[in-house]
Amino acid sequence: MTYGAALLLAFAAFAAIAASMDRHGDQFGMKTQALSSGRILWWRAGGFVLLGVSLLKCLQHWNTSIAIAAWLGLLTFAAMALGLVLTYAPHKARQLACCTAALGALLWLVPPL
């Protein structure tokens, strides 16, 4: 559960960060040029908060040293997954990010096995 929750939340976090980026914002249906810099900042901050939540889940499951190492490993694969989604199914990125955020939050609440 821990891996799942942390991975899904990291994916959603990266999606939020990507949504605030010039290159990827359009893919999430956000016209980044038109948005105020404040809104963009909110998305970015939200992404980093989600990353923190994902780290928190790891810290609950593992000792600090292993948790950080495992979290960094999970981030790699979450980011790669998002990169592939943005390349091959950009129009689904938004829905997918919402789904992973919801599922990640759900798994977050499940006690570790």
Partner 1 sequence: MRIDGKPEGLRQSMSWLHTWSGLVLGWLLYAVFFTGTLSFFRDEIDDWMRPELHRSVASAETAQLGLDAMQKLAPNATTWTLSLPNARQTAIEASWREPGAAAGRAGTSRATLDAGTGERIEHRETRGGNFLYRFHFELYAMPRIWGRWIVGFATMLMFVAIISGVITHKKIFTDFFTFRPRKGQRSWLDAHNATAVLALPFHILITFSGLLLLMNLLMPWGIQAAYNGDTGAYFSEMRGNRQAAGGGQGAGGRAQAEPGQHAPLASIAPLLAQAQQQWPRHGVGSITVNAPGTARATIELREGGGSSLVNRGASSTLLFDGVSGASRQPHEALAVSWPRATSNVFTSLHLGRFAEPAVRWLLFLSGVVGTLMAATGMVLWVVKRLPERRKLGYTPKGHRFVEVLNVGSIAGLSVATAAYFWFNRLIPVELAGRGDWEIRGFFTVWLLCLLHPLLRAPRQAWREQMAVAALLFALLPVLNPLTGGASLAQSLAHSQWSIAGFDLMMMALAVIHGVIVWWLARPQAAARPAAKAGVRKSTGEQKSGVLATRESGTAAGTAAGVAGASMALEKST
Residue ranges binding partner 1 (CB under 8 A): 3, 14, 18, 21-24, 26-27, 62-66, 69-70, 72-77, 79-80, 82-84, 86-88, 90-91
Measured from the Cβ of residue 83, the count of other Cβ atoms closer than 10 Å reads 13
Q: Among candidates 48, 68, 72, which has minimal Cα distance to 60?
A: 68
Whether residue 84 contacts residue 27, with contact meaning beta carbons closer than 8 Å, is answered with no
| Nearest to partner 1 of 35, 79 (CB atom) | 79
The CB-of-38 to partner 1 minimum distance in angstroms stands at 20
Cβ atoms 7, 74 nearer than 8 A? yes
Q: How far is the CB of 94 from partner 1 (least distance, A)?
A: 12
Q: Which is nearer to partner 1, 3 or 42 (CB)?
A: 3
